[in-house]
Structure 1
Amino acid sequence: MPFIEESDLLELHKDVDKAQIINERLLDQIKYKNKELKRSKIQRNIFAGVTMFFLIGGLAVGSMATGWSMGNNYERQNNNLLVSIDSLDAIKTRIDNLKVQNAELSLVKEFYLAKEFLEKEKIYSVQVKSFVDNNITLASEALTNTLFVKTNPFYSYSLGNFETLAEAQSFRKQLVDLGFEDAFVASYKEGKRLQIEDPY
């Protein structure tokens, strides 16, 4: 096992604490974005309903106008037709824009579904370190595949979120090759460690 200076250990504790704070902020941001998504979905549904109402109303008025102008000359009929085509193009453009917005919202929804999956399903992760104090500041905001779990009296720091034990074992082997000789695989569910798994 490699020797760690006390100053390095203190720095690691500070880094671990910073990462936990960042993780908590990210969870708060996820909750806020989830509320925004719900609000946006309601607004989108209301807008779609109003748009359909005006579309049907516009088509009805256009049909009536076309019916009334049957007695008029051919040129007036062509003008009405051109106006209807222009308004249909505008509606098609608006529908295309709504489809793009819907696709963007679907990506955000997939992120939240993945987050829910990690919290509800059994996953495997490779624990690389544990600390007595809650000073987890090792991770940057870009590291999303990390777990910080309290297993009394320790705070553990794990890397990777895997669906299968084999994937986690393979990742553990890579970490051991990099110098993390004490790394081991553990299973987690709902943010709590279930057990330490077979390393091979």
Structure 2
Amino acid sequence: MPFIEESDLLDLHKDLDKSQIINERLLDQIKVKNKELKKSKIQRNVLAVFTTMILIGGLAIFSFTAGLSQSSNAMVDNQHVLMSIDSVDAYRARLETLRKKNDELSLVKEFYLAKKFIENETIYSVQVKSLVDKNLSLTSEGLTNTLLVKNNPFYAYSVGNFETLQEAQTFRRELVKIGFPDAFVASYKDGKRLKIESPN
């Protein structure tokens, strides 16, 4: 196994800590966005009920004024119709704003569901190191697809989350080219290593 300089190892440890912090922040943001999504759904339902009540009230006022005499109430009818149209337009604009917010929250929800799906599926990753200490900073801010798996008594550090073995093998070959000759592909499910895969 090749020798690694202590300064390089410390840099890798720092990078891993940064990545773990970033991943924790992303999970916190997902939780916040899920709460906002629930709140938005409640607001949307309340707004729909309120809009329906306004429309029914506007129609009731319009019907009431239409039943009165034509000469004295013609001007009143026009004012109620204009007021109803203005309020309907305002509610339509509010509904459109809420729909846009809902679309944004749906994207966050899809990301969260995709992450949950990955946790339940078999994935392939390239293990580059196995270390005794968990509190090591081995990732850079650019590498967010990393795994740190406990294999007693060591922590296995892997990079990349791939759906197919071929993708992981291609990535492993690139890592070997840049200085990780001991890198190998392993399959994982539910955060646990299943087996070491063929290097081809």
Per the TM superposition, whether the score is higher than 0.5 is yes
Go from structure 1 to structure 2 and tell me whether the alpha carbon gap of 1:45 and 1:17 turns closer, same or farther (over 3 Å shift).
closer
Q: Which residue identity does 2:52 align to in structure 1? A: I
Deviations 1:141-191 (A, max 9, x none): 442111111112221111100011011111111112222211110001111
Aligned equivalent of 1:69, options 61, 65, 69: 65
Q: Which residue identity does 1:77 align to in structure 2? A: D
Percent identity at matched positions?
Answer: 48
Q: How does 1:41-56 map to 2 (within 5 A)?
A: 41-56=37-52
Deviation of 1:46 after TM superposition, in Å, equals: 2.6
* Structure 2 residue 23 is the aligned partner of structure 1 residue 26: yes
> Normalising to structure 2: TM-score of the pair?
0.85
Q: Which residue identity does 2:148 align to in structure 1? A: F
Q: How does 1:181-200 map to 2 (within 5 A)?
A: 181-200=181-200
Q: Which residue identity does 2:126 align to in structure 1? A: V
Q: Which residue identity does 1:160 align to in structure 2? A: G
Q: Structure 2: how far apart are the matches of 1:64 and 1:51?
A: 20
Contact 1:13 1:131 in 2 (8 A): no
Q: How does 1:89-108 map to 2 (within 5 A)?
A: 89-108=89-108
* Structure 2 residue 177 is the aligned partner of structure 1 residue 177: yes
Could you list the structure 1 runs, at least 4 aligned residues long, displaced by more than 6 angstroms after superposition.
none
Deviation of 1:41 after TM superposition, in Å, equals: 3.4
**Residue number in structure 1 paired with 2:120:** 120
Q: SS of the residue aligned with 2:126?
A: strand
Q: Structure 2: how far apart are the matches of 1:47 and 1:144?
A: 34
Q: Structure 2: how far apart are the matches of 1:56 and 1:4?
A: 69
Deviation of 1:3 after TM superposition, in Å, equals: 3.2
Deviation of 1:90 after TM superposition, in Å, equals: 0.5
**Residue number in structure 1 paired with 2:129:** 129
Contact 1:126 1:172 in 2 (8 A): yes
Contact 1:16 1:134 in 2 (8 A): no
Long gaps (5+) in structure 1 = none
* Structure 2 residue 57 is the aligned partner of structure 1 residue 57: no
Deviation of 1:65 after TM superposition, in Å, equals: 1.1
Go from structure 1 to structure 2 and tell me whether the alpha carbon gap of 1:53 and 1:16 turns closer, same or farther (over 3 Å shift).
closer
**Residue number in structure 1 paired with 2:7:** 8
Deviation of 1:29 after TM superposition, in Å, equals: 5.6
Deviation of 1:52 after TM superposition, in Å, equals: 2.1
Q: Structure 1: how far apart are the matches of 2:166 and 2:142?
A: 25
Contact 2:16 2:139 in 1 (8 A): no
Deviations 1:57-112 (A, max 9, x none): 21122112111212344333222221111111111111111111111111111221
Cα RMSD of the aligned pairs, angstroms, is 2.4
Contact 1:17 1:134 in 2 (8 A): no
Contact 1:13 1:135 in 2 (8 A): no
> Normalising to structure 1: TM-score of the pair?
0.85
